[in-house]
């Protein structure tokens, strides 16, 4: 045991002495001399590093401080827009036609988004998507995705109740249109950012839009606001807009033209209603139409505001103006007899015919029977310049002075280029083109004792702006206008082309128009447009109503059969709503309404 646990004391001391006697300085590795430049080089490198760091710090803190502060703000600071509420659009009685309502929008940061399969299915169902559609949308962009904009409040609450990481909502506004398709072409619509795209929404966009506010904040990595920076700029809401449109008149006009299009299997139709006393547009309706708040299946045919942007040859609706010019220049009187036999006339080799031979007719009867021959004979007594000047004063060939996108000028060629046959056909509405809106405005001259008033889409509030009504352009004498109104009353009564225009309780006057549609370089044999333009009450007109039905296809196509009944119903309803007292007994009119119409020449 001693032997294993013992130790040689001498041997131990000898080993220790041996270790103490080692000379480390004599090691070849440690004994080699280091070159002096090496240590100096290392010190220089360390010093240079400090200089570079000091220079960089000076550059960041002094020279480039604005740039780096801006870069820092970009990563954390955000400017939040405070949207202004778009102004309302209301009718002349304060009825809301367009208004903005709060509508939250949902967005996500896909890289932060976390949801179980069940939560994804629930979210997709709330948003009206399939789970696959939701996944594809989340894969589009890792930084920011709109999931659904302008959803219902309840949908947003249910979505946020899922407590999904990375899902956020922002408060926006959505445009609502209570009158729907009845007023769609007048009001128009906005896009998702509430910028006007069509109609009044586009024309008055700057006035309605207002000015957005601004708030600068600092957000954390998860997009949460942690601090405000500087002062906020409050939004300025848009101004409300009061239109001249009467929503009740507008809705009724839309219903009547819609029913006429369906009844006659037509392609489209339009109605314009004007207040003769103020020049205000009470209704401007088109069919087909669309729902402004739902444009998923919208097409160009539905969007066309045909009353303003479609132009056409107005046909026989031009004849009263030729009679007015002939009387104004002293060439004829209402009782002047014009021989229309044998029912046709030749102008430079071209034949112009009436639907039926009439023989001798007075000027008043020429308008009542809508005689092409009688109108042509009056027109050929005039210089082309006289007709051109009249048409120009009536507003044809000029863009309507109304703030509405797409309103057409129509076509009226310079009189120096007219050939005799062109002068003849222009007298009964071929060879020039106008919109229904232009035609309605032209008839206000006859309704307003020879004066053409400027028209307005905005309400002219008599209380806010007292004084005389707006002055217009004198086109003809009051006497001539009244005499033509009497002719129009004959045209809309027994023996005329439009007894179906008679309105129960009110005296009316107006003129039919029927024309072949242009197709290529000629005219379609079996495609027509039918019009009726008139006014009521006839002694002191309050309104002018113009109706157009495009391509009636049920066997009837004359303006007196297709458009005149729409005029009759719109006149009755409008005058009653305006509080205009009836000026006729009911019974005689019912009899007159059933009298067959004289077939129109066109």
Per the domain annotation, does 61 fall within a domain? no
| Rounded mean pLDDT, 335-354 | 94
Per the domain annotation, does 137 fall within a domain? no
Residues 155 and 283 in one domain: no
Looking at residue 137, its pLDDT comes to 81
Q: Is 504 exposed, middle or buried (0-12, 13-18, 19+ CB in 10 A)?
A: middle
Q: Please identify which residue in the block is written with the tokens 């905005």.
A: 458
Of 210 and 541, the one with more pLDDT: 541
Residues 294 and 238 in one domain: no
Number of H helices, E strands in the chain: 24, 21
How many domains, the chain?
A: 2
Last residue of a domain, one of 242, 269, 304: 242
Distance CA 436, CA 552 (A): 17
Residues 326 and 411 in one domain: yes
Looking at residue 591, its pLDDT comes to 44
In 3D space, the residue among 202, 244, 246, 271 whose CA is nearest the CA of residue 534 turns out to be: 271
* CA angle (6, 11, 17) in 5-degree steps: 135
Instruction: Give the contacts of 492 (CB within 8 A, at least 6 positions apart).
Output: 498, 499, 501, 502, 508, 509, 510, 534, 564
Of 125 and 78, the one with more pLDDT: 125
Which stretch of 153-162, 222-231, 375-384, 443-452 has the lowest confidence by average pLDDT?
222-231
Which stretch of 312-321, 398-407, 413-422 has the lowest confidence by average pLDDT?
398-407
Looking at residue 31, its pLDDT comes to 60
Residue 2 has pLDDT above 50, yes or no: no
**Long-range contacts (CB closer than 8 Å, 24 or more residues apart) made by 387-391:** 387/322, 387/325, 387/415, 387/423, 387/426, 387/427, 388/412, 388/414, 388/415, 388/418, 390/321, 390/324, 390/325, 390/475, 391/321, 391/426, 391/432
Residues 251 and 237 in one domain: no
Residues 321 and 432 in one domain: yes
Beta-strand pair 337-339/360-362: antiparallel
Distance CA 336, CA 343 (A): 18
Residue 295 has pLDDT above 50, yes or no: yes
Tokens of 170: 């922002």
pLDDT digits (tens, 9 = 90+) for 237-258: 889 999 999 999 999 999 999 9
Per the domain annotation, does 318 fall within a domain? yes
What CATH number is given to the structural domain containing 95? 3.90.1310.10
* Helix/strand/coil for 525: strand
Per the domain annotation, does 564 fall within a domain? yes
Residue 108 has pLDDT above 80, yes or no: yes
Tokens of 301: 């045919």
Last residue of a domain, one of 242, 273, 292: 242
Tokens of 504: 């129960």
In 3D space, the residue among 134, 89, 87, 86 whose CA is nearest the CA of residue 113 turns out to be: 134
Confidence label for 227 from pLDDT (cuts 50, 70 and 90): low
Residues 256 and 232 in one domain: no
| Catalytic center residues | 316
Domain around 355: 247-462+469-593
Looking at residue 274, its pLDDT comes to 97
Distance CA 365, CA 358 (A): 10
Residues 532 and 439 in one domain: yes
Looking at residue 24, its pLDDT comes to 54
Per the domain annotation, does 183 fall within a domain? yes
| Rounded mean pLDDT, 214-220 | 68
Per the domain annotation, does 256 fall within a domain? yes
Looking at residue 543, its pLDDT comes to 97
Residue 492 has pLDDT above 70, yes or no: yes
Residues 310 and 393 in one domain: yes
Per the domain annotation, does 396 fall within a domain? yes
Which stretch of 14-18, 292-296, 403-407, 510-514 has the lowest confidence by average pLDDT?
14-18
Last residue of a domain, one of 221, 242, 263: 242
* Mean pLDDT score across all residues of the chain: 86
DSSP 83-106: PPPPPPEE-TTS-EEEEEEEEEEE
Residues 191 and 331 in one domain: no
Looking at residue 410, its pLDDT comes to 94
Instruction: Give the contacts of 574 (CB within 8 A, at least 6 positions apart).
Output: 246, 249, 252, 253, 273, 282, 283, 543, 545
Residues 255 and 236 in one domain: no
152 within 8 A of 176, measured Cβ to Cβ: no
Residues 382 and 288 in one domain: yes
Cβ count within 10 A of residue 335: 9
272 within 8 A of 440, measured Cβ to Cβ: yes
Distance CA 481, CA 491 (A): 15
Residues 106 and 218 in one domain: yes
Residue 506 pairs with which residues in a beta bridge?
Answer: 503
What CATH number is given to the structural domain containing 571? 3.40.710.10
Per the domain annotation, does 315 fall within a domain? yes
């Amino acid at each position: 045991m001693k032997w294993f646990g013992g130790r040689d004391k001498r041997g131990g001391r000898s080993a220790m002495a041996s270790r103490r006697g080692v000379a480390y300085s004599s090691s070849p590795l440690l004994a080699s001399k280091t070159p002096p430049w090496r240590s100096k080089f290392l010190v220089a490198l360390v010093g240079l590093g400090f200089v570079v760091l000091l220079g960089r710090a000076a550059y960041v803190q002094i020279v480039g401080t604005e740039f780096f502060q801006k870069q820092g703000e970009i990563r954390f600071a955000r400017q939040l827009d405070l949207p202004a509420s778009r102004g309302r659009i209301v009718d002349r009685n304060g009825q809301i036609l367009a208004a903005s309502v709060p509508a939250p929008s949902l967005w996500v940061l896909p890289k932060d988004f976390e949801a179980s399969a069940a939560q994804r299915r629930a979210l997709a169902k709330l948003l009206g998507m399939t789970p696959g559609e939701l996944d594809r949308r989340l894969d589009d962009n890792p930084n920011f995705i709109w999931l659904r904009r302008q959803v219902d409040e309840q949908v947003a609450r249910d979505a946020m109740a899922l407590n999904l990481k990375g899902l956020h909502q922002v408060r926006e506004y959505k445009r609502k249109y209570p009158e729907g398709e009845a007023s769609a072409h007048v009001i128009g619509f906005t896009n998702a950012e509430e910028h006007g795209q069509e109609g009044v929404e586009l024309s008055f966009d700057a006035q309605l839009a207002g000015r957005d506010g601004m708030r600068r904040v600092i957000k954390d990595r998860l997009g949460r606001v942690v601090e405000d920076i500087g002062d906020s700029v409050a939004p300025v809401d848009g101004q409300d807009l009061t239109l001249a449109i009467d929503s009740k008149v507008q809705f009724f006009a839309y219903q009547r033209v819609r029913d006429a299009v369906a009844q006659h299997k037509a392609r489209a139709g339009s109605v314009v209603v004007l207040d003769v006393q103020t020049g205000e547009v009470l209704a401007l309706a088109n069919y087909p139409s669309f729902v402004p708040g739902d444009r998923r299946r919208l097409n160009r045919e539905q969007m066309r505001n045909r009353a303003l942007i479609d132009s056409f040859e107005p046909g026989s609706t031009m004849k009263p103006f030729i009679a007015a010019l002939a009387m104004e220049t002293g060439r004829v009187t209402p009782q002047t007899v014009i021989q229309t036999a044998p029912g046709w006339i030749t102008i430079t080799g071209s034949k112009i015919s009436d639907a039926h031979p009439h023989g001798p007719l007075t000027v008043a009867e020429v308008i009542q029977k809508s005689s092409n021959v009688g109108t042509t004979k009056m027109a050929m007594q005039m210089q082309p310049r006289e007709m051109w000047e009249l048409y120009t004063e009536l507003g044809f060939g000029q863009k309507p002075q109304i703030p509405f996108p797409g309103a057409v000028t129509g076509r009226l060629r310079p009189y120096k280029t007219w050939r005799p046959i062109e002068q003849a056909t222009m007298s009964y509405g071929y060879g020039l083109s106008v919109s229904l809106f232009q035609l309605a405005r032209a008839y206000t001259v006859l309704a307003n004792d020879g004066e053409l008033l400027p028209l307005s889409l905005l309400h002219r509030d008599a209380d806010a702006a007292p004084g005389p009504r707006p002055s217009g352009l004198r086109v003809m004498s009051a006497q001539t206008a009244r005499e033509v109104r009497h002719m129009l009353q004959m045209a809309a009564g027994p023996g005329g082309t439009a007894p179906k225009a008679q309105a129960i309780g009110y005296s009316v006057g107006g003129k039919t128009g029927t024309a072949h549609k242009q197709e290529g370089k000629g005219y379609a044999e079996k495609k027509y447009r039918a019009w009726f333009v008139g006014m009521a009450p006839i002694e002191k007109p309050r309104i002018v109503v113009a109706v157009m039905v495009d391509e009636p296809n049920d066997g009837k196509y004359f303006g007196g059969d297709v458009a005149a009944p729409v005029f009759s119903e719109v006149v009755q309803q409008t005058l009653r709503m305006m509080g205009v007292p009836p000026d006729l007994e009911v019974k005689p009119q019912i009899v007159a309404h059933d009298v067959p119409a004289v077939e129109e020449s066109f």
